[in-house]
Amino acid sequence: MDLGLKGKVAVIMGGTSGVGLKTAEMFLQEGAKVAVCGRDQGRKNKANDHLLKYGQAESIYAATCDVTNKEEVNAFIEGTAARFHQIDILVNAAGQSVMGHFFDVTDEQWEQQIQLKYFAIIYAVRAVHKHLVKQGSGRIININATLAKEPERHMIATAATRAGLLNLSKTLSQELASDNILVNSVSLGLIRTDQWERRRQKNAPEMDPEEYYADLAKKRNIPLGRVGEAEEVASVILFLASSQASYVSGSTIETAGALGKAL
């Protein structure tokens, strides 16, 4: 199926690892151009090398940028526009969670989650808006988590800010509709990404990876009986960016193997 992504430019905030990197890879395979960012220089360079297996150097822009820093976000978006002369799609995938119950989470951790889940999105949307308007259409896809609707006590700061992001995405879909910009969310359950690989290597380095993830799926009671793969999330993101999703806005697609009971 032709997704209509050939020649489009997709900016992926947090595209140097995990879901974001897989999404960049799949956009390239569809003939789109990609801009990816992350904070870590080494990870950024590795991502750039990885993406070169899927697309030409002229179709890839990788840069360091902290999504919680307004000036850096503006510089990254302007760098992308200067490089590709257009921007069509924004994927907000940068993030990390904070574990902790209410009395464990520090002010700094709350602050970090608020920066990541609100301001990073606000800065990126503000920065890309004029470029999407110039194109006459645009897509914004915010990565979220099932936690937004089903909070867990041991992840209070992440869950609470995720809920706010879901609300923000909904309002943005209405606010930007007159510019023909479609805004959607993808809500993840437990996805096997670099983030989880780092966790596995730290906590259970001796354990067979397949066994580790099977065990995790069992402990979390994932109805499909397994954790998800980054590619399974990236496919949903590409659909939301595609010409097939031209009337989908304000929605949330759960990509979580039936995890969670929230409607």
Ligand X SMILES: NC(=O)c1ccc[n+]([C@@H]2O[C@H](COP(=O)([O-])OP(=O)(O)OC[C@H]3O[C@@H](n4cnc5c(N)ncnc54)[C@H](OP(=O)(O)O)[C@@H]3O)[C@@H](O)[C@H]2O)c1
> By the criterion CB under 6 A, which residues form the site for ligand X?
14, 16-20, 37-40, 43, 65-68, 93-97, 116, 143, 145, 188, 190-191, 193-196
What 3-state DSSP class applies to 36? strand
Residue with smaller CB distance to ligand X, 45 or 243: 45
List beta partners, residue 181: 138
Residue with smaller CB distance to ligand X, 72 or 179: 72
Helices (H) and strands (E) in the chain, counts: 9, 9
We find the least distance from the C-beta atom of residue 25 to ligand X, in angstroms, to be 12
We find the least distance from the C-beta atom of residue 189 to ligand X, in angstroms, to be 7
Terminal CA-CA length for the chain: 30
- Distance of alpha carbon 60 from the chain centroid: 18
Helices (H), the chain: 18-29, 41-51, 70-84, 107-114, 120-135, 156-175, 194-203, 209-219, 230-241
Residue 37 and residue 64 in contact, taking contact as beta carbons nearer than 8 Å: yes
We find the least distance from the C-beta atom of residue 72 to ligand X, in angstroms, to be 8
How many C-beta atoms lie closer than 10 Å to residue 117's C-beta?
A: 27
How many C-beta atoms lie closer than 10 Å to residue 137's C-beta?
A: 13
We find the least distance from the C-beta atom of residue 53 to ligand X, in angstroms, to be 18
Residue with smaller CB distance to ligand X, 136 or 209: 209
Residue with smaller CB distance to ligand X, 178 or 203: 203
We find the least distance from the C-beta atom of residue 152 to ligand X, in angstroms, to be 11
Residue with smaller CB distance to ligand X, 161 or 249: 161
Residue with smaller CB distance to ligand X, 6 or 199: 199
| Interatomic CA distance for residues 59 and 86, integer angstroms | 12
Task: Count CA atoms within 13 Å of residue 168 on its CB side.
Answer: 22
We find the least distance from the C-beta atom of residue 41 to ligand X, in angstroms, to be 8
Chain residue at closest Cβ approach to ligand X: 18
